[in-house]
Every structure is written in C-alpha cells, then in structure tokens.
Structure 1
Amino acid sequence: MKESVAEEHLYLDFSHQYQDGIFPLHTSISLFLLSYCDCKLFKVFLVPTNEDVDDQFVTRNLLCDLEVHLVSRCQLPVVVQSCTLPAVVMKDGKFCRAGLSVVLRHIIQKTYEADPSKTNVVELLGFKKTCLKACAEVSQWTRLCEISIPLAVEGFLKASPEHCQTIPPDILLLERKLGEPVRVHNDDKIRRQKLQQQKAGAKSAMPAFGEEATEEGKPVKMQEHPLPSLELSIAFSKLLVQERSDVVNREASHIRRTKTSDLPPLDHIFAEGLYFTLADVVLLPCIHQFLASSKKQGKNLLNLPLISSWYQRVQEVPGVKRAAGKCNMELLQLPESMSAPEEQLQNLSSVSGELEEENQDSHFIGGPRPTMTKLMENGIKAKFSPHPCPNWTIDWSNLPSAVSPGEGK
C-alpha cells in the first residue's frame, strides 16, 4: 500500500459480528458517529483479526451506507502499525491520529469544516468544545466512556451465563454518575428557574385549604398534568432549535433571595448533563448491546433506572434513530420506570414548607439579589453615594412590567 494518500483514511479493528453489533465496540462507535454525522469524507478500512473475512461479507452483512474496505494488518501504513486502532492517516500519509476519542473528535471537526450548517454535529463537542478532550490517563470520565464501559460490555457478552448474573461494576458506576448533580456554566440561573418551577408545580398539586382530599374513599389525583422537567425542556429546545421568547420573565423575589447552596440540583438528561454530546454517542452502542443481551436473558432492567431512562431519551434525539438504522442497530423500547408513590409524597412534602415561607413573604415586592449581603459576609463593605440627579422620575406605567421594581403589581 502506498504511504501517501489522496484522502484521509480511517482504520478500524474488526473481530466479529454479534447480533446487530460490530466488534470491538470501538468500531461500532466510530461507524455510528459517521452515520450520525452523515460523513463520507474518510475512506474506511476494516482490519480483521480473522483473515478469512472477505469484502462481500462486509458489504452484505455489516454496512449498507458506507463504502468499507478490508486490509490486512501487514498492509497497514508504517505510521499506523504501532498504533492502537481506531486511527486516521492524514492526506500526506506521514501523520496519524490514534485513539477513540481523538479520532471521533477529528471526525466531528472535519464534518463541520466541510459543512458549517451541521451545527448539531459540532455541538457534540460540548461547552467550549471540551467533551472527551482530556485523555483517559488524566480524566476518569474519559476513561470510563472510552475504555472501561466498552471493555466491560465486551466482557459481559463473552462471559458464561453463570457469570452474566451480576452487573459489571463499570455499568454500576455509570448509573451512579447519572445520579450525580449536574454542573453547567449557567448553573445558578437554571437552578433558580427549577426552584420556581418546583414551587409552581407544588402550588397546583396542593389541594385548596378546606377541600376534601378524598372522594368516596378514593384518593384524588392532585395534578393530572405534571409540569415537564426543566432540564428536559432546556435540552430538547436546543436540539430542536426552538426559538425562545424575547420576553424574559423575572424571577419571583423569594427565588432571587434564595442562597445558591439552597437551590435544587439539576438532574442528568444526557450523559454529561443537560445536552447531547459525544459522550452519549460513545455510550449508546455499548449500553445498547448490554441492554439487548440482558433483555434476551430475561434480566430485570429496572435495576438500572437512570441508564434505562437515558437510553430511551437518547433515542428521541433527532438523527439517532436514523443513524442506528444505517448501522443495523435495532434500538429497544424499554418500559417506563415510574417513581414510587412514597417518593412522590416526599417530594411534595419537601416543598410544602417552602410554600408556607413563601406565603409569609408574599407582600414583599422587588428588591435586589443578595449581592450586598454576600459582599458583607466576606468582609467587603460597599460605599453608597447619592444619585447625581435625584429629581429624575421614571414613568413605570409606560414600561414593560418585567423591568418594574414592583414586578407589574
């Protein structure tokens, strides 16, 4: 094979095909991303471990959308032979990028450079384009997504039925990660919106004072249409490129005065938080194989409620089902996991005390956010000066209610 190439070449390992997956999983992940991005900028080569595999087998059984070629390991360019696949060889044939995260990020960047209208592709790189940028040697999250989860699933599929009874520790670690609070760059603003939504939902759920809570001995459903998750609304409004209203609703006074430490945490919608990123693309083929195998063995998938919910949610992302279809991935439809009634009652009681405090302060209107208090608590004293034009007056009646100190009241 010539050392110089006219286009970039992508080299992927190929060991075998199992059900609707191509192994190793790093190859399935790479092909899934190519399908999601609708990227045909690379000449794709599979490097089989079994020399008996031929091109017709690949064309007939593996991929129907990408042009894929087979190449033996001894025919690989010299620059690739000492690398762990996947690897991309640049056009000059003298430089290559190796490693799953490095290759996937390169595919995304090249796709966006070729077609800047594909904003959904470049947004896979996340905030400041740092998703899976840190190498696995220094980032526990990158290591979990890039190495630990794929190896755990491959080991789970190879294990005997006796050893498949236990969930791999790395899958359980992912379940715990999905249960941790989300940290995003505009964390404070979104958490205040969530607090306001929670209190609004609790108000509508609480029965009016003096009304019967039961009817003919049967409990009355206090809220037929619960408010959608704020995190879910934010995540999918970005994915669907929905235009947001120009009218900004100012937060209620008691929301503005709430300390940051008292704000509710944000829940995971996707793997890294509120937005669909490259981490979700990496995890989906792996978790799909794990769930498909578990379901085939009749295992109870409700033991992983957060992963199951994430798996269903990812399928609703525009382009995911199309990409899965191109890769012959038959995505599962899992039963929705419902929260226990006890948990719902606890959630309701936790905000009832806050509602009582809110009602006591209902006469308060306007007021700044607690910036001055925070400064004073840290030993910083603000100096106030008189207004240079104290005779100025503002006709609030001719201005939008959102800018009024009285909030339109």
Structure 2
Amino acid sequence: MKNELYLETYTPKEKFEKSFLLKVSLESLITYYVYKYCNPLNIKLYFVHTTDSDDKELLYLKADCIDFVEKKNIAWQVASCLFPVALFDDTVITGLCAVSRHICKYRSSAYSPHENDDGLLSFRKGCLQAPNEVSIWTKFCEVDLIKTVKELLGEVKLKEIPKSLIRFENHLNKPVKLHNMFKVARDLKKVTLKTNDYVEIVQSLNPSAEITQTHDGTKIPKQRKWKSNIKKQADIISSLNVEELGLEHQFAEGPFLTLADLVLLPSYYITVKKIGKDMFEALFPLSYKWFLKVSNLKEIVNLDLLLQTISALSLPLMKSLEIPKIEDVSLYKSDPKRHNPKKRLFTKPEDIEKALDSVQDGMELNLSILEFEEVVDWNKIPDGANPAAGHLPNERVIRKSQQLENLCQAVLVMAKEGDYIVDFCSGSGHLGILLAYLLPKCTIILLENKEQSLLRARDRVHNMGLTNVYFFQCNLDFFIGKFDIGIALHACGIASDLVLDKCLNANAKFVLCPCCYGSLHATDRLIYPRSSKFRNMTIDQYLCIGHTADQTHKEHPLTVRGERCMAIIDSDRARFAEEYGYKVTLSRLKPLSCTDKNNLLVGVPS
C-alpha cells in the first residue's frame, strides 16, 4: 500500500547536494517541520523539483539527505493537486492541515508531557479536522496566517499591523473552549474548589469510595458510571462558570500542545524575526508568550536548523504602524462571539419586492423540460451504488434515487469513453459511485473535504470491486487537475459557484444542482452578481433574492416566489457561463417533489 508525502522545491537535486539547502514555499516548510517532529513510520517523503523561482516569499530549508522525484514521474493524482500532497493507496490528501493530520496518524516520536491523552490531534482526534470552508480556525491556520507571512516576506515596509496577528492575539485573550473542559480543569487542579475538600466530601458520602491519583500526585475520586449522590456532588462542582475554571491558553487551543501549535509555530518564527522581538512583544504580548512557550519546549525540533536564512531577512521599518479596526472576536467555532464573515441577510417583504423589481426582461433564463430516453433500473444496481441498500426510510430512498437518476441521466448523455468525471463535494459518493458503475470506461474522481464521508465512500467502492474510482480529500481550491465533466449535487451556497468556476476554467461540461441559496456571500474570489446581465442589481438586492430562494418548503404560501428567486440566481450563473462560450440549459428535476432545491444547470462548451 502506498503511503507517500510530496513537497515542492525550487532547488534542483544537483544544487541541493552541494549546499543541503532547499528553496521551498511556506506550506512545504511547515509540512516538513511537522514531518520531522512526528518522524512518521511508513510515510515515504519525496521532494518534487518543479521550476526555479526567485519569489521573495520563498524560504530556504535545511534538510538531511532526501529523495527527489521529477515532476513528470509523479502519479497523475499527485500532479492534480497543490502541494503538499499525500498519496495513500488510491486516496489523495492535500491541503496543509489535512496532510499534517495524516502525518500525525503515523508518528513514531514519543508523546510530549504537554499533550493530552489523544496526542497532537487532541480530544477525539479532532484537531484541525474541519475543512477551512466551514472552520474559521482551520482557515486561520492554513490560509489567513500563511497569506500574512507571505506578505511580510514580500514587504520592505509595513504600513499597518496585519489583521490576522491581531485576531490570534484576541483569541489567546478569550476563555478556553474545550469539549471536556470541566474534566480537564479537575485533572489539572485548576478549579477554585480545593481537591482535598472534594475528596472529604466524597468520602463523607461514601467512606468506601475508590480514590485514584492524577499525574501531579493530587488525589481525586475515581469517576463512577452510575448515578449516585457522588455524581450529584460532582455536578455541583461542574456548574462553575468557564471563567472560574482557571484554564488558560498555554497553547493555541488551550492547556495542551496540539498539531495547531506545530502548524502555527514556523509562521510565527518568521514573523517574530521579520518584525523584531521587542516590537512583536510590545504589539502582541500574549502571542509572544505563547511563542516562547512552544519554541522552548525540548520536544520541538530546533527551527534554526530548518530556517537558515530567516535571520538574514531585511527588517521592515516600523516606527509608526497603523492599527486597523477589527472586531474582538473568537476563533473558536463553538463561541457565540466567534469571527463570522458569513452572517446571513434576513429580509423584509418590502426589501424582497424591491429586489425583484430590479430584475429586467431578458435576464432570466427560460426553464427547459428534462427529457431522457432511458431510465435507471434500480433493480440492477448493486448495493454499494443503490440508496435502497442503506438504512434510510422508504420515502427518503425514493427521493434520493430520483435525485441521482436526474443528474446521472444528464451525465450519461454527454459522457464519452475515457472521460474524467469529478463529483465535487461528493459526500459519501452516492452520485459518483453510481456513475462509476454505469460508466466503467470513464475515470470517476470523488472530491470531498470531509475525511469520514470519503472513508465511507471508499469502503463501498472497494466492496463493489470498482477500479475506476479515485478519492481526493481536499477543498476545491487545492484541486488543479484536468477533467472533462464536473458534477455537483446540492453543493451548498458558494460551493456551487466554486464548482462552476472550476468547470469553466477547465473548459469542462457541467451538471449542477445548487443548494443553500441563502448562504451566498461575496468572497475574495467571488463577486455577486456573477454575470454582466445582472450587474445592474446591487449586492444587497442579490443576497436578498438568494435568501428568499430558500423559502421553498412544501405547501407554503411563499413557495412560488421562492422558486422564482432560485431561477433568478441560477439564471445569473447560466449567463456567467454563457460569457465563457457555453451553451447552458436551466431545467428542474423530475418529479419536483424529490427535493425542494430542484433546479438543474447543464452546460456544454461550444
């Protein structure tokens, strides 16, 4: 079974053998650092020499004897992704955090006493598990901070303090958020109630209560699994406010060293060097305290050996820096005061009417009628590709089968032998696996950023014995491969637009059934409205229509208006594709009852 890690370098093998220095991107440097810390078993590391570059944001990495591989010799799956990339059997993993998590799973290095019982991946192995599309913490670690450091490396003079650095400083000033914080607080002897008093209380209730000993020698009662007066007393203790627990941010995610600290540390090492220790400590005292805490741990690999040239970087002139305005918000997903750039717009009737009045003749696309010659015979579809084989209610099985059949038939009409078909946001692979079975001479790629969903799809494919399916665990951004057809069933919100952009840039056909219109929002890459025909509409009017498009519930008086709003948003997407030379049809799934979000966009490049 393959288990390989690929990092990109801009230094040819011959030059490396003379200096043992590699010119790499920040992402490759961080990944190599995690690799060296974990010293994973059974993961073979390769550096891929791509091309020489003199970009200011590149760094020199001090490396041992390493293995090089030519770009032309790497597997097509690896070449289809941005580095770093891990190739695990028939699954490709890409993205800084996802690859770092994969490395941690095979670590051979001893656990640090500063880690919790689950190691670097922390409680229930969940550290940095959520993809950056849904987790502001993952996005901070692998997108926001990376962008900031690259800007620092390219800047000669800073004009203002980077916002991401302020955001992390604010994060360290917030109360610690943990799934099991009360247990952690008791174990660390951080609660205000003295442990000895707690022991006396328990023993007074039950003299035979079994007492155990913690790692620091403090005696606490062993937790029982049945209800009792002892349990009630423990509940009283656990009723303390979070602020009273005494848990502090010794590390990035709380009292324990996690993978997040390893991912963040190289970036902060560069940042401190670039800004200067005195200035950095004055601007970010909590961040500097965290930085010293982590970088001085004896388990941490000496970064000076990895970053040979950082100390020689020119320092920016920072006599007076502007402090940008930024919300004092948390990076914790569970915190109600978290950083949330995707706040939804809630609408009023008068706003909706005004928005709809801005839609002019010729903007909306006429709805086509789906007509297919063949239907899917579900009696002949094996269990792994058949919703009826799962544990869904009968009504749900019928509706799911109808959804799959609509998109599947649209793909069957346009697919040719040898095509590469990407099922974007594939989930557990219902659509892609069905197509793989029906199109055995096509290659199907299941692209999904959630590890558990992709593992379920992988198990079903292997049980079916299909050999034309490959698995990509990554965000849309990290996939850069060529393909012929892109499909997506209910890709939420902006994901449908990101899939559309992937298809347009690859000149690939597309079959899209969008979802979650109300969560549309402008991003660095997406501007709404999308097409020139809709540009007379303001962004507020557009988002108002998007929010109204989600009002398509059964037997609801606003359903008809909601369906029209869905058609308006999808017409804008269609018009945008037409500007790329595509012929686009907008139709609806049959029967309409199979899903409330039943629009279907089919595009073919001219």
Secondary structure at the aligned position of 1:13 is classed as strand
After superposition, where does 1:9-408 map in structure 2 within 5 Å?
A: 9-15=4-10, 23-39=24-40, 41-51=42-52, 62-65=61-64, 67-72=66-71, 74-90=72-88, 92=89, 94-111=90-107, 115=108, 118-120=110-112, 123-161=119-157, 164-188=158-182, 193-194=189-190, 196=192, 243-245=215-217, 247-248=219-220, 260-261=240-241, 263-264=243-244, 266-295=247-276, 299-320=279-300, 322-324=301-303, 326-328=305-307
Are 1:87 and 1:98, in contact at CA under 8 Å, matched by a contact in 2?
A: yes
In structure 2, C-alpha distance between the alignment counterparts of 1:310 and 1:31, rounded to whole Å: 22
How far 1:75 moved relative to its partner? Answer: 3.6
Secondary structure at the aligned position of 1:96 is classed as strand
In structure 2, C-alpha distance between the alignment counterparts of 1:306 and 1:138, rounded to whole Å: 26
How far 1:257 moved relative to its partner? Answer: 7.0
> Residue 323 and residue 42 in structure 1: after superposition, are their counterparts in 2 closer, same or farther (change >3 A)?
farther
In structure 1, C-alpha distance between the alignment counterparts of 2:70 and 2:289, rounded to whole Å: 40
Secondary structure at the aligned position of 1:134 is classed as coil
Deviations 1:282-333 (A, max 9, x none): 000001101101118x74531101110000000233310x35355246999x
Deviations 1:168-200 (A, max 9, x none): 1111111111111002244235657545389xx
Secondary structure at the aligned position of 1:30 is classed as helix
Structure 1 unpaired stretches of 5+: 1-5, 199-241, 333-409
In structure 1, C-alpha distance between the alignment counterparts of 2:34 and 2:305, rounded to whole Å: 11
TM-score (norm 1): 0.55
In structure 2, C-alpha distance between the alignment counterparts of 1:41 and 1:262, rounded to whole Å: 42
Structure 2 unpaired stretches of 5+: 195-213, 223-232, 312-606
In structure 2, C-alpha distance between the alignment counterparts of 1:63 and 1:262, rounded to whole Å: 43
In structure 2, C-alpha distance between the alignment counterparts of 1:262 and 1:75, rounded to whole Å: 54
In structure 2, C-alpha distance between the alignment counterparts of 1:136 and 1:313, rounded to whole Å: 26
Are 2:9 and 2:22, in contact at CA under 8 Å, matched by a contact in 1?
A: no
Deviations 1:364-406 (A, max 9, x none): xxxxxxxxxxxxxxxxxxxxxxxxxxxxxxxxxxxxxxxxxxx
Query: Greater shift after overlay, 33-42 or 286-295?
Result: 33-42
In structure 1, C-alpha distance between the alignment counterparts of 2:70 and 2:165, rounded to whole Å: 34
Aligned length: 266
> Residue 330 and residue 279 in structure 1: after superposition, are their counterparts in 2 closer, same or farther (change >3 A)?
farther
In structure 2, C-alpha distance between the alignment counterparts of 1:328 and 1:258, rounded to whole Å: 45
> Residue 42 and residue 257 in structure 1: after superposition, are their counterparts in 2 closer, same or farther (change >3 A)?
closer
Are 1:15 and 1:50, in contact at CA under 8 Å, matched by a contact in 2?
A: yes
Query: Greater shift after overlay, 287-296 or 275-284?
Result: 287-296
In structure 1, C-alpha distance between the alignment counterparts of 2:39 and 2:238, rounded to whole Å: 46
Q: Which structure's residues are more often helix, by fraction?
A: 1
> Residue 78 and residue 311 in structure 1: after superposition, are their counterparts in 2 closer, same or farther (change >3 A)?
same
Are 1:324 and 1:331, in contact at CA under 8 Å, matched by a contact in 2?
A: no
Deviations 1:238-292 (A, max 9, x none): xxxx933263399xx9x96795238525321100111000000000000110110
Q: Which residue of 2 aligns with 1:213?
A: none
C-alpha RMSD of the superposition = 4.0
Secondary structure at the aligned position of 1:248 is classed as strand
In structure 2, C-alpha distance between the alignment counterparts of 1:126 and 1:258, rounded to whole Å: 22
In structure 2, C-alpha distance between the alignment counterparts of 1:295 and 1:25, rounded to whole Å: 19
TM-score (norm 2): 0.39
Q: AA paired with 2:101? A: R
Are 1:153 and 1:286, in contact at CA under 8 Å, matched by a contact in 2?
A: yes
In structure 2, C-alpha distance between the alignment counterparts of 1:32 and 1:307, rounded to whole Å: 20
Are 1:29 and 1:282, in contact at CA under 8 Å, matched by a contact in 2?
A: yes
Aligned counterpart in structure 1 of residue 3 of structure 2, from 4, 8, 26: 8
In structure 1, C-alpha distance between the alignment counterparts of 2:237 and 2:34, rounded to whole Å: 45
In structure 2, C-alpha distance between the alignment counterparts of 1:21 and 1:126, rounded to whole Å: 32
Are 1:11 and 1:44, in contact at CA under 8 Å, matched by a contact in 2?
A: yes
How far 1:40 moved relative to its partner? Answer: 5.9
Secondary structure at the aligned position of 1:123 is classed as coil
> Residue 145 and residue 288 in structure 1: after superposition, are their counterparts in 2 closer, same or farther (change >3 A)?
same
In structure 2, C-alpha distance between the alignment counterparts of 1:172 and 1:160, rounded to whole Å: 20
Q: Which has the higher contact order (CA 8 A, sep 6+)?
A: 1
Query: Greater shift after overlay, 126-135 or 61-70?
Result: 61-70
Q: Which structure's residues are more often strand, by fraction?
A: 2
In structure 1, C-alpha distance between the alignment counterparts of 2:78 and 2:169, rounded to whole Å: 36
> Residue 194 and residue 88 in structure 1: after superposition, are their counterparts in 2 closer, same or farther (change >3 A)?
closer
Secondary structure at the aligned position of 1:260 is classed as coil
